[in-house]
Amino acid sequence: MAPTLTAPTPAPALALKPGTAWSDAWQRCLTTAPEAFRDDRVLNLWAAGWKHDGNPLPATSPVDGSPITGPPRLDAVTAQQAVRASLDQHRAWRHVPVAERRARVSAALDALTEHRELLALLLVWEIGKPWRLAQADVDRAIDGVRWYVDGIEPMLAGRSPLAGPVSNIASWNYPMSVLVHAMLVQALAGNAVIAKTPTDGGLACLTLASALAAREGLPITLVSGSGGQLSEALVRAPEIGCVSFVGGRDTGADIATAVADLGKRHILEQEGLNTWGIWNHSDWDALTAVVPKLFDYGKQRCTAYPRFVVQRELFADFLAAYLPAVRSIRTGHPLVVENPSDPLPQLDFGPLINAAKAKELGDQVTEAIGRGAVPLHRGTLDEGAFLPGQDTSAYLPPVTLLGPPRSSPLHHAEPFGPVDTIVLVDTEAELLAAMNASNGALVATLSTDDPQTFDRLAPQIRAFKTGHGKPRSRGDRDELFGGFGASWRGAFVGGELLVRAVTDGPAGERLPGNFPDHHLMP
């Protein structure tokens, strides 16, 4: 008798978790902050009011390519008006007593806490963060600013606000824990604050956060526009007291030239190739455990580690530890579930910021392989959780390449995506040269069994923070942050240094940082 054949059970259909659609998030924004949102657009915030100006650009979500609300871009003349209005706010705000500033910032933090989940949901749709990481971004902003609220008085002793407002131009990847965090601390220190919404994403999240803060009387300006149109106002205008920038080296170099010529206070965090060195190392279980964490948010962050520099004789052991870990990376649509009551998926990352970035990075990988790089791992989207027929053009699975050719951008620049490159070395001199390939970095790590070897080599690695077998990060609260070489210009931040960077101290004070006329470590 022939055996009975049983048809395979079809995989359950996936669907958006109820209440998480972009339309749901948008309706909640309209209800929560009607002063800042309209049915078809957001407004710009300047002169202490929400303005129906600027030409909105079309935008799509990286999550599934669907349309979302784009930035209402101002022209140069209107941007200059906004800057002058911010100076008027600054001149009044700088005289508000510290106790009142603390109370207003605290009230803003309470409002952000109340709307934490909506802010996180906007981050999912606008910049593709998985739910866990989106919530963490919001929480880090709130918790970090509360630390300053609790301890601001001694940080301000003997210091005064700047002569003009602080202008913030930041990348799209951490709207809350980097940009909103900085804005609220700058206001707490007595400054009016200007921020430009990142072109690539974060508009609705920043608008909602700014609306909640503006209700408490904080002197915030939030505008959208192209760098070419707004740079004259946001960087070069004489009203600006300080420029705070987070982004790439090309744009950062232009801003650095402008602020140096003007003698303007500045904080310019720029990219660098953060590296992880392996030398006389044997704790492979520790490496296996940490590799998935290094792929958080698809390595779209300034402290990501996209380069491993490995002692050649340890390469086989390294691969045995690394490959199982990278094969476990989970990606997919951040908001899909099998059943309505299921929790949102626990992903390492979702899409990249847009389809153009995914294509650019994919093309760089193809080109590098064509010129001799060896593909050690190329993930697929086959096991990712996606909606039936959804657009996945912004998704790129993990890739690992051995020996990227020197002609490839993957050899010398930060990819800002889920691509690891591996370089093999035979001597300590080669190790250091490979770890310092980008003329300065924000973080680095050296895994070595011998503490004396670490103590000897770590000072020669050109990174602001170097971990011993553990990743370093931007840090929170009292942890300092900066960069070596071309990865940073201007004042260092973190802890008390962030307050010092946006206030004036004693005459002739030299702030820790990389300035045209001095370099001073904290």
Within 10 Å of residue 296's Cβ, how many Cβ atoms? 18
* Residue 183 tokens, joined: 């804005």
Please state, in angstroms and rounded to a whole number, the distance separating the CA atoms of residues 101 and 110.
Answer: 14
- Average pLDDT, whole number, for the chain? 94
Closest C-alpha among 444, 362, 447, 364 to residue 404: 364
Please state, in angstroms and rounded to a whole number, the distance separating the CA atoms of residues 304 and 440.
Answer: 14
Within 10 Å of residue 8's Cβ, how many Cβ atoms? 5
Q: What are phi and psi of 519, to 5 degrees?
A: -125, 125
What is the pLDDT averaged over residues 111-134?
98
- In degrees, rounded to 5, the angle at the alpha carbon of residue 332 between the alpha carbons of residues 328 and 337 is 110
Instruction: Give the pLDDT confidence of 81-101 residue by residue, as tens digits.
Output: 999 999 999 999 999 999 999
10 pLDDT more than 60 = no
* Residue 475 tokens, joined: 């840090």
* Residue 315 tokens, joined: 């390469």
Please state, in angstroms and rounded to a whole number, the distance separating the CA atoms of residues 258 and 160.
Answer: 25
Say how many residues make up the chain: 522
Please state, in angstroms and rounded to a whole number, the distance separating the CA atoms of residues 135 and 106.
Answer: 19
pLDDT of residue 7: 47
Q: Which residues contact 472 (CB under 8 A, 6 or more apart)?
A: 303, 443, 444, 445, 463, 465, 466
What is the pLDDT averaged over residues 255-268?
83
Q: What are phi and psi of 442, to 5 degrees?
A: -85, -45
pLDDT of residue 250: 76
Work out whether strand 265-270 and strand 488-491 pair parallel, antiparallel, or are unpaired: antiparallel
Instruction: Give the pLDDT confidence of 331-386 residue by residue, as tens digits.
Output: 999 999 999 999 999 999 999 999 999 999 999 999 999 999 999 999 999 989 99
> Is residue 155 a contact partner of residue 148, using CB atoms and an 8 Å limit?
yes
pLDDT of residue 291: 97
Distance in Å from the first CA to the final CA of the chain: 82
What is the pLDDT averaged over residues 100-116?
98
pLDDT band, very low/low/confident/very high, at 297 (cuts 50, 70, 90): very high
Amino acid of residue 263: G
What is the pLDDT averaged over residues 221-232?
92
User: Token pair 């800002």 is at which residue?
Assistant: 416
Instruction: Give the pLDDT confidence of 409-436 residue by residue, as tens digits.
Output: 999 889 999 999 999 999 999 999 999 9
pLDDT band, very low/low/confident/very high, at 488 (cuts 50, 70, 90): very high
Instruction: Give the pLDDT confidence of 153-194 residue by residue, as tens digits.
Output: 999 999 999 999 999 999 999 999 999 999 999 999 999 999
- In degrees, rounded to 5, the angle at the alpha carbon of residue 408 between the alpha carbons of residues 404 and 410 is 65
* Residue 252 tokens, joined: 């950062």
pLDDT of residue 383: 86
Q: Which residues contact 387 (CB under 8 A, 6 or more apart)?
A: 14, 15, 16, 64, 333, 336
pLDDT band, very low/low/confident/very high, at 251 (cuts 50, 70, 90): confident
> Is residue 135 a contact partner of residue 116, using CB atoms and an 8 Å limit?
yes
Specify the pTM. Answer: 0.95
Please state, in angstroms and rounded to a whole number, the distance separating the CA atoms of residues 26 and 38.
Answer: 9
Alpha carbon of residue 165 to chain centroid: 23
Strand partners, 413: none
* Residue 43 tokens, joined: 């407004």
Q: Which residues contact 379 (CB under 8 A, 6 or more apart)?
A: 326, 327, 329, 331, 397, 398, 399
pLDDT of residue 255: 83
Alpha-carbon distances, residue 44 vs 126, 207, 522 (angstroms): 18, 8, 38
pLDDT band, very low/low/confident/very high, at 256 (cuts 50, 70, 90): confident
* Residue 476 tokens, joined: 């929170």
> Is residue 36 a contact partner of residue 111, using CB atoms and an 8 Å limit?
no
Q: What's 54's DSSP letter?
A: S
**DSSP codes of every residue in 356-414:** HHHHHHHHHHHHHHHTT-EEEEE--STTSB--TT---TT----EEEES--TTSHHHHS-
Query: Which stretch of 108-122, 249-263, 309-323 has the lowest confidence by average pLDDT?
Result: 249-263
> Is residue 325 a contact partner of residue 291, using CB atoms and an 8 Å limit?
yes
